[in-house]
Homo-oligomer: A and B are copies of this chain.
Amino acid sequence: MTASTDGDADCAARVELIAVPGVPVVEPGDDLAAVIAAAAAAVDLTLRAGDVVVVPSKVVARAEGRFVDLATVDPGPRAAELAALTGKDPRLVELVLRESTAVSRAGRGALIVQHRLGFVTADAGIDQSNAAPPAAVAARGVGPWALLLPADPDASAARLRAGLEAAAGVAPAIVISDSFGRPFRVGTVGCAVGVAGLPPLRDHRGRSDLFGRPLERTVTALADQLAAAADLVAGQAGEGRAAVVVRGVRIHEGVEAGAAALYRQPAEDLYL
């Protein structure tokens, strides 16, 4: 074997994923930053400079009151057609279409769309698990209920960042994550739908490998890696742990852009 090397200076040698325990079920109007800051403080978890806080989109959406009573949704003809094809509730399909710019694929049990925010996902990210609204909201409708994604997740991330800075004295980077299915592979992984305070992509182009050969496939999706890593500690079922602190990732120089930097342009996508 040849000489040892110290690895990539962009990468930390140790990263911690810390679930913030005891975050309650969030309800519309809750100050999410205050809720997370209080839950962290309750276990003596103090945010540090360089921390990244990953929060499921669903928690943000609940705080923003993105509940829709399906009884109030009137499906159009396109929704009825796609509902027949997919076997889904026509009212849900109508909501999906309203949240989308294009249908990518539809089949039995599957409706994959390009969301108006630019990413491609099943059912426009609209969820019916853990979508039950609190009593005050439920009393205004018949249901069943669905929960839309946050209206502007990058803006939600920026607000959460500012709120946590006000509460904790440091501004963590924020990733708002959602569970995405994928072509080719079974099972969901967390992907970023909102980003604040860190470049969503890590660009190694122009650097060389150990042997001096320029690196090729070397743009890595940092924000998606963070979202997927947070899955390892964030409970999907209970979601009592609403936030995950990722500590020790070296945040590199780069373009601080919104999550849209992660979305391939349709003209450059071989699969859309």
Q: Main secondary structure on chain A at its contact with chain B?
A: loop
Task: Report the separation of the CA atoms of residues A110 and B7 in the bound assembly, to the nearest whole angstrom.
Answer: 28
Q: Chain A interface residue count: which class? A: 35 or more
Task: Indicate if the CB atoms of A1 and B35 lie closer than 8 Å.
Answer: yes
Q: A243-261 vs B: 1/0 string, CB under 8 Å?
A: 0001011000000000001
CB 8 Å contact bits of A1-29 with B (1 = contact, 0 = none): 11111111111111111110111111100
Task: Say yes or no for A157: interface residue by CB 8 A criterion.
Answer: no
Minimum CB distance partner of A185 in chain B: B262
Q: Counting CB contacts under 8 A, is A99 at the interface? A: no
Inter-subunit contact A236/B215 (CB<8 Å): yes
Bits for A175-212, please: 1 = Cβ < 8 Å to B, else 0.
00001011111111111000000001110100111110
Q: How many copies does the complex hold?
A: 2
A161 at the interface (CB under 8 A from B): no
Contact partner of A15 (CB less than 8 A), chosen from B3, B4, B16, is: B16
Chain A 27-49 interface 0/1 with B at a Cβ cutoff of 8 Å (1 = within): 10010000100000000000000
A241 beta carbon closer than 8 Å to chain B = yes
State whether B233 touches A210 (Cβ < 8 A). no
Separation of A237 and B272 alpha carbons in the complex (Å) = 30
A186 cross-chain contacts in B, Cβ below 8 A: 201, 219, 221, 261-264
